[in-house]
Structures are given as C-alpha cells and as structure tokens.
Structure 1
Amino acid sequence: MTARASRARRTAIAVSSFVAASALLAGCTGGGGTAGSGDIKLDVMMGAQDLTDEQKAAFEADNPGIKVNIIAWDPTRLNTMLASGNPPDVAFGNAVGSANFNARGLATDLTPYLADSDVLTEDDLQPVNDAFRWDGKRSGEGPIYGIVKDWSQDNALWYNTALFDAAGVPYLSDTEAISYDELLEISKKLSVINGGTTEVYGLGMEWAWTLYGPIAAMVEQQGGSLFNDDLSEIDFTTPEAQKALQWFVDYGQSGAGPTSLNPLPDGSDYSTFAAQRMAISQDGYWFGGNFAADDAMKTVRFAPAPTMGDTPVAMSFGGAGLWIPEQSDAKDAAWKFMEYFLGGEPAEQRASSGWGLPSLKSLADKLPQEQDYQKQAYEVVQNQLQYTAPLPDSPYISAQLLQDTIDKYLQQAIKGDLTVEEAGAQLTDELNAALAQGVDQVG
C-alpha cells in the first residue's frame, strides 16, 4: 500500500455512515448482474489497491462462473446505490460506524455463513470484529454483519528516535503508557519553530482523520463515557469530556502540531513524518507498513496509547472490513469472495506486510518481525491487546458529522472565541439535536 493509499484509508474512516437521501447518480450499477455466458457479475466496492489483478484472477479461476467487477470505493456513490435498492454485492466499510447500516437493515447477517464455513469461523475472529455486531438495540453484541480485514490500536504512538536524540528527550516506554499531559509537554520540547515557521512538529494527532476517536478514548480512560446507555444522547459537559476538550485546546494553542487551523498540505501525518519533520504521530500499528522499504525511517519506534486517567485503553477507531448489502442478489457468491479475501492468500499477504493487524487469530503469526522496528512494534502490540476496547458507535449519528461539529467548536475554543465550558455546552446541544433526528429516522 502506498502513502497515497494509506491517506485514502484514513479518509474512509472519517466518512458518514448514514445513507444519503439524495438523487440517484446516473449510471450506477450493482447487485450481481450477469457478466455473460451465465456468469455472475459480482460487484465489489473497495479500494482499488486492496485486490491485485493476480488475486482477482486467482479467485475467478477457483470459482468458475463468478466474475469480479471492482467498483472504486466511493461513499457518496455507495449511499446512492443503497438508497436506489441497487447496491454492490460486497462493500467496504468500517466496523466502527456500521451501527447505522445495521440498525436500518441494510446489511446481511453473516452468522449463518460463518457457521457453515471452513475458512472463516466465529472462534477465529479477533474481538475487534464485535463492532460489526448488532443485537437490534446496540452494537457489540448479537449477530455479526461484517468482518474486519485489518485493524489497529489507533491511539498508539509512532515516534522518530533521531528527533528525540536531537532534542535530548528520552525515548517513550515500550510498556508503560505516557499520560497525555506528559505527551504534550514532550511534544513542545520536540517542536522546532524558527521565524514563525515550524520546521519540526512535536506531535501529530491526525486531526483530519478523527477527533471523536481520541476524545472518546480519553473519556473512557477516565472511567466516563460520551454517550448515554442507549447511545441516543452525548455529553461534552462532564468533567471527563471537559478535560479531553481542554487538552485539545491546549495542544492547538501550543503550536506543537497541526490542526484544522494550521493543516498539513495533504491532511495526513505520513509525508511530514517521513520527511523527519514530525517527531511523534498518533497512528495505529498499520502506519508502520510505510517504513518497511524506507531505509531513512529505521529510527522509528512504537509506543503504547497515551492515557488520560487510571485506565489504559487502546482503541480501534475504524476496523476496515467488508459486508454484504441485504439487497444483493448474489449473496452466496459474495460470501465466497469474502472467504477468499479475508481468509485466503490476500489476507495472509496483508498480515505479512505489516499494514494493520489481522482480524483472524490464526493469522497473528504472519505479522512481520524481520526488521528491528517490526520486532519492537510487535511486542508493544501484544502487550496492548489486554487494554484494547471498542469505541462507542451510535447508530443515530455519522462519523463525519461528529468530526465536523467537534472540529468547529475546538477551532472556536483554540482561537479564544469560546471557553472550553461554552464549547462543550454548545457542542452537546448541537449534536443532541442531530441525534434526536437520527433516532426518528432509525426508529
């Protein structure tokens, strides 16, 4: 996967999970049509980089009668195809954010397929897959509606030891989580600003990717929760939420890292980090896949997710995977493709590349450990598994709306137009109005 592809993946995590109620796009096709000579045309909407031509040919050779048609992943087009009742047969989606699709009955229950499969079985699924579960009221329990292809502990940290050495800052611990307050102080020491120009950022938070993810994790680490029990209301006025918002305001005002007020040109930490102009980036294990072939980046190390409280929590903010739309008329063929992509050669290749953690327990030993940084990151990951927890996923609001609204009020607080208390109150009111609409829509 290229850096461009990894940026596309981060964008995917932040998109809306709501189905757009917009006019149909001209020319949209989907739903398992005929490819000719009696073949099933299996429409698969996913990243163009996720399946090679060789893998596609191998699947078709092993499954005569099925022809795979890759549709470039596009959330707007997917929403329109779903709204038209003419969806792809297999679709890319994130486990966190799937609650709305599942609550609206748009996804197929995969539990019966798992029960009959020799390739994908429930007892081989890592717990991250539970975010694709829906019991009729909330995510995390009940039947499963999708399967993760790869995932990460997304609030963990990658850092460049060469920049730590230059600043005289001790390395981060491999086993003990640093506090967010300590992390911010370190990032200030690592920043290099000359004449008003930032030459080295101390810390990147992937601001354009997700703000909800790290803030929700910060609140959980303090023993709180942003949402109420049924995920129909959110509250940024609690002491735990206020502390998290205050940290982001302090971070934004410090100049130690990019925000939407001073964004990176490409909206992603990678190119700046790779250019050795960023000392730390809060990115998951998958970020290390960038470094395998880059000799200039062998000074990287991985560190546990920072904490804001007494409870270490490492969270997946997405969990990229595949699901089968309920209205597909080629579900059996779609399942065969999922078995191949998620449990066959493509899954083994992904695991061995270091681009994320495999969602199958049986593939854990495929993670790369040839290079020193890979060995070190592997050990950190194994230790962090005990602290991994799901990110709260409300079916009543989209990830994009959460991102945009949080960003709007953080900007105002960073500029001093609102206090953190005022920002939290207005943020709560605006998002609860949207959640109420979502409750009415989902029912």
Structure 2
Amino acid sequence: MNGSARISRRRLLAGTSAVIGGAAAGGLLSGCNANSSGTSSGGGTGSGQSTVTLTVMYANNELTKEHIADFEAKNPGIKVNFLQNDATRLNAMLASGTPPDLVRGGAVGSANVNARGLATDLTPYLDKSQVLKKDDLLTVNDSYRWDGSKIGQGPQYGIVKDWSQDATLWYNAQLFEQAKVPPLSETEPIGYDELLAIGKKLTVKQGGKTKVYGLGVEWAWNLYAPLASMILQQGEKVYTDDLTRTDFTTTAARRAVAWYVDFAQAGVGPTSLDPLPDGADLSTFLAKRMAISQDGYWYGGNFVKEKALQSVIRMAPAPVIGDHRVSPTYAGIGAWIPVKSKHKDEAWKLMEYFMAGPPAVERASSGWGLPALKSLLPKLPQELPYQKQAYKTAQNELQYTTPLPDSPYVTADTWNLTLDKHLQRAIKKQATVDEACKAITEEINKALKQGKEQIG
C-alpha cells in the first residue's frame, strides 16, 4: 500500500466509528432499504444448495479484490458483495434492519455500537475457532470488549485487523546532530516537558517562516486520544465510573491541556491555527523539515523506498507526563458482525481469513502496522536497520498497551471539535487554561447527557 493511501486512511481512523456513533446519537436514518445482506434460497455453505452472498462493508485498499477472489476460491459456497465503507449508508442499513454481514470499525469508539446492542458477541466463535484463538489476541483487542458498562472486559464484539502505538515518536537523527541534541532512547520514554524543550531547540526559523519544525503531533488527526493518554499517565480518570460525566478541571487534565497550549504558543509544530497544507506530518518529515513526528509503528512503512532517510530515522517510545507509562492505539481498526446479519457463520469465516489468514500475514510482513495476533509478530519486517530498531522499540512498548477510555454517549468527533475550539481560545489568550478546561467540561458533559438520554 502506498504512503498517500495510508495517510488518507489514518486521517479517518478516529472519525470512522465516531461518525456512526454521532449519527446514532441524533437518531439513525430510517426507512432506506440498502439491499444489504444477500440471501440464500437454501442453507448455508456446505448444504449443497444455493451460494450464500455475504455483504461486506470495508475499505477497498484494505480488503482488496485479490483478497476477496482468494477467499471465494477457498470457500466456493460464499460470494462477497463488497460495499465501500460509508458511515451514512451503514446507518441507513442498520436502521432498516438489513445491515452488512461484516463491517469495518475501530476498536476505540466501539462502545457506542456495543451499548446499542448492534454487534454480535464473537466469544462463542472464538471458543470454537482453530484459526482465531483468545490466547493469541494482543491486548489491543480488549477495546472491542464490553461488559454492559465499560470496555476492556466481558464479551468480545470485534477483532482488530492491525494497529499501532500511535503516541510513539519518529525522529530524524541527522537533524538532532545538527542541533547538537542527543538522540532519544529506544526503550526509555522522554517526558512531555523535556520533549517540548527539545522541540524548541530543533525548530529552525528563517525570514519569519519555519524552515524546520522541531515537533509534530498530528494535531489535525486527533486531540482526544493523546490528551486522554496524558491523563491516564498521571493516574487519573477521564470519565466517572458510569461513563456519563467528565472533569477537565482536574490537575491532570489541566496539565495536559496546558502542554498543548504551550506547544502551540512555542511555534514548534503545526496546529489548527498554523496547519500544514496537506494536514499531515509525512511530506514535511520526508523533506527533512520536521525533526520529530508523533506517529505509530505504521509510519515506518513510508520509509521502505526512502534510502536517503533510512540511515537517519529512528523510532522512540511514547512520551510520558506522569508516573504511569501508557502507549495506546488511537483506533485499532478491525471488523464486527452486526447482530442482525443473516449470515454470521459465513461472516466469521471471512473474519478468520482476513484477520489470521493470508491478508494478515501480508499486512504484518509489509510493516504498515502491528498485527493483532501474537503469533504474527515475528512476521514484522526486520531486513533494514531502521526496521530492526523500530521492531525492538515496538516490542518493548507492547507491555504498556492500555485501552483508551471510551464512553458510548459521546463521539471522538465531538471531543476533537470541542477540544480544538477551546485550545484555540487559550492559545490566542482569549481564555485562560482554567477557563478553557471549564468550558470543555461543560460542553462534553452536555453531550454525554444527551447521548445517555438517547441511548438509554
């Protein structure tokens, strides 16, 4: 998969499940028959009767035509009707009671779908499967678990396809050397305050413009996930135990918000007030105009053909702002099976093929992300020196994987828009950090209340 395709995908990671949840909070679209699940006049596969048509909603650069053809060849009783991922269409199909049989979605953000009873409990399938096994699932899959009140425990409602430790850092050692800044550790995390100080040293201004950004945090992609991670690192909670309220006026939340305000006011990296033209760090990083970019393991896939950069790029652990190391994924894209699917058994066969079969081996071997299965970790590429180094760092980070807090009553989009609005006010000194934190708390709690009332 080429870099531009991957960038497009990553920019939508947080929004995919959030859009679904947002539509749900406002009432699902109704009445539209989207002709979702194919029908069989006879039994399922192996019955000797009609072929089952399995309707799948995914991204065509992830579940490819080649994958589908291979799956159909290996399962002659199943045909795949592919639909390009579309949140609006999915909501209409869910509302009409004719959903796809397999749906793309993020593990982070799945609480909304699970709280509404839309997803099938996959635990019985996992118990019987010889392909996908519970003890082979990495911790990242826990974000797809829901016990009726919180994520991380209870039944498994989805399986992750691939993922990354999205708070980790990639940096250009050559730019560090030029600025006389020591390289970052491969295993020990840097503190956020020290990271910002280094970012200032690495930033190069010339003629009133930024020639080299010291630090990029992919501001345009996500604010909730990194801020929530910073709160967890300080030993605090993002939500109350019932997931119906938040408090961003706590010392931990205020410190996280203040760091982002300081980052923006220091001018060391792009923000929504000073964005990059393409809304992503990659092209600037490739041009050696950014010293550090906060991106996950997947970022390394961009450098396989960049021979001039391979000798100078490094991956470093997720930075910390407290005593608790947390290195989460911000999305963990995977798949789930709607509870109203007419072909759950066949959908599970595709789940097994896609999550543990040839496509999974192909993904792991490409270096575009971490696999969701322990057994596939050895498949990650280590041919090039920078790949070996990134592999070592990523492996060490696995022990710090922690599910991000996920309330079914508010979407990531709502969080991100609210955070950005009030961060901008604080950055422009139209509000103090305390005032911004109070406003964030009030707006998110209003959204949580509305979401609770609508879901019940």
TM over 0.5: yes
Q: TM-score, normalised by structure 1?
A: 0.96
What does residue 8 of structure 2 align with?
Answer: 8
Q: Give distance in 2, aligned partners of 1:42 and 1:65.
A: 10
Q: Give distance in 2, aligned partners of 1:116 and 1:295.
A: 46
Superposition pairs of residues 139-154 of structure 1, within 5 angstroms: 139-154=151-166
Structure 1 range deviating more: 254-263 or 96-105 = 254-263
Q: Give distance in 2, aligned partners of 1:340 and 1:317.
A: 25
What does residue 300 of structure 2 align with?
Answer: 288
Residues 380-401 of structure 1, C-alpha deviations (whole Å, 9 max, x = no match): 1121122221111111111111
Displacement of 1:313 after TM fit?
1.3
What does residue 378 of structure 1 align with?
Answer: 391
Q: Report % sequence identity.
A: 58
Q: Give distance in 1, aligned partners of 2:377 and 2:418.
A: 37
Instruction: Name the amino acid aligned to 1:347.
Output: A
Secondary structure at the aligned position of 2:103 is classed as strand
Contact between 1:19 and 1:82, CA under 8 Å: does it hold in 2? no
Task: Mark the runs of 5 or more structure 1 residues left unpaired by the alignment.
Answer: none
Displacement of 1:28 after TM fit?
3.3
Q: Give distance in 2, aligned partners of 1:143 and 1:333.
A: 20
Displacement of 1:25 after TM fit?
9.4
Residues 93-131 of structure 1, C-alpha deviations (whole Å, 9 max, x = no match): 111100000000011110111111110011111111111
Displacement of 1:297 after TM fit?
2.4
Instruction: Name the amino acid aligned to 1:142.
Output: G
Q: Give distance in 2, aligned partners of 1:180 and 1:19.
A: 32
Q: TM-score, normalised by structure 2?
A: 0.94
Secondary structure at the aligned position of 1:402 is classed as helix
Superposition pairs of residues 201-220 of structure 1, within 5 angstroms: 201-220=213-232
What does residue 125 of structure 1 align with?
Answer: 137
Contact between 1:93 and 1:322, CA under 8 Å: does it hold in 2? yes
Residues 264-287 of structure 1, C-alpha deviations (whole Å, 9 max, x = no match): 122111222122221111111111
Secondary structure at the aligned position of 1:82 is classed as helix
Contact between 2:163 and 2:332, CA under 8 Å: does it hold in 1? yes
Secondary structure at the aligned position of 1:10 is classed as helix
Is 1:438 the counterpart of 2:451? The answer is yes
Contact between 1:249 and 1:410, CA under 8 Å: does it hold in 2? yes
What does residue 80 of structure 1 align with?
Answer: 92
What does residue 315 of structure 1 align with?
Answer: 328
What does residue 155 of structure 1 align with?
Answer: 167
Secondary structure at the aligned position of 1:314 is classed as coil
Contact between 1:25 and 1:77, CA under 8 Å: does it hold in 2? no
Displacement of 1:26 after TM fit?
6.8
What does residue 114 of structure 1 align with?
Answer: 126
Residues 17-57 of structure 1, C-alpha deviations (whole Å, 9 max, x = no match): 41523546978331234699933222211111112332211
Secondary structure at the aligned position of 1:217 is classed as helix
Instruction: Name the amino acid aligned to 1:32.
Output: G
Q: Figure out how many residues of one structure are paired with residues of the other and give that number.
A: 443
Is 1:183 the counterpart of 2:195? The answer is yes
What does residue 338 of structure 1 align with?
Answer: 351
Contact between 1:149 and 1:322, CA under 8 Å: does it hold in 2? yes
Q: Cα–Cα, structure 1 residues 84 and 267, in superposed 2: closer, same or farther, change >3 Å?
A: farther
Secondary structure at the aligned position of 1:123 is classed as helix
What does residue 18 of structure 1 align with?
Answer: 21
Q: Cα–Cα, structure 1 residues 19 and 67, in superposed 2: closer, same or farther, change >3 Å?
A: farther
Instruction: Name the amino acid aligned to 1:29.
Output: N
Contact between 2:3 and 2:301, CA under 8 Å: does it hold in 1? no
Instruction: Name the amino acid aligned to 2:337.
Output: I
Superposition pairs of residues 19-418 of structure 1, within 5 angstroms: 20=23, 21=27, 23=29, 28-33=34-39, 38-298=50-310, 299-418=312-431
Q: Give distance in 2, aligned partners of 1:165 and 1:372.
A: 19
Residues 332-384 of structure 1, C-alpha deviations (whole Å, 9 max, x = no match): 11111000000100001111111111111111111111110111011111211
Displacement of 1:304 after TM fit?
0.6
Q: Cα–Cα, structure 1 residues 66 and 224, in superposed 2: closer, same or farther, change >3 Å?
A: same
Q: Give distance in 1, aligned partners of 2:178 and 2:95.
A: 54
Instruction: Name the amino acid aligned to 1:28.
Output: A
Secondary structure at the aligned position of 2:80 is classed as strand
Q: Cα–Cα, structure 1 residues 328 and 305, in superposed 2: closer, same or farther, change >3 Å?
A: same
Contact between 2:32 and 2:93, CA under 8 Å: does it hold in 1? no
Q: Give distance in 2, aligned partners of 1:157 and 1:111.
A: 35
Q: Give distance in 2, aligned partners of 1:176 and 1:117.
A: 38
Secondary structure at the aligned position of 2:293 is classed as strand
Contact between 2:199 and 2:215, CA under 8 Å: does it hold in 1? yes
Displacement of 1:317 after TM fit?
1.1
Residues 204-238 of structure 1, C-alpha deviations (whole Å, 9 max, x = no match): 11112110111111111111122111211111100
Task: Mark the runs of 5 or more structure 2 residues left unpaired by the alignment.
Answer: 43-48
TM-align CA RMSD: 1.7
Instruction: Name the amino acid aligned to 1:381.
Output: A
Secondary structure at the aligned position of 1:93 is classed as strand
Secondary structure at the aligned position of 2:340 is classed as coil
Displacement of 1:70 after TM fit?
2.1
Residues 288-333 of structure 1, C-alpha deviations (whole Å, 9 max, x = no match): 1111122132021000110001222111111111111111111111
Instruction: Name the amino acid aligned to 2:6.
Output: S
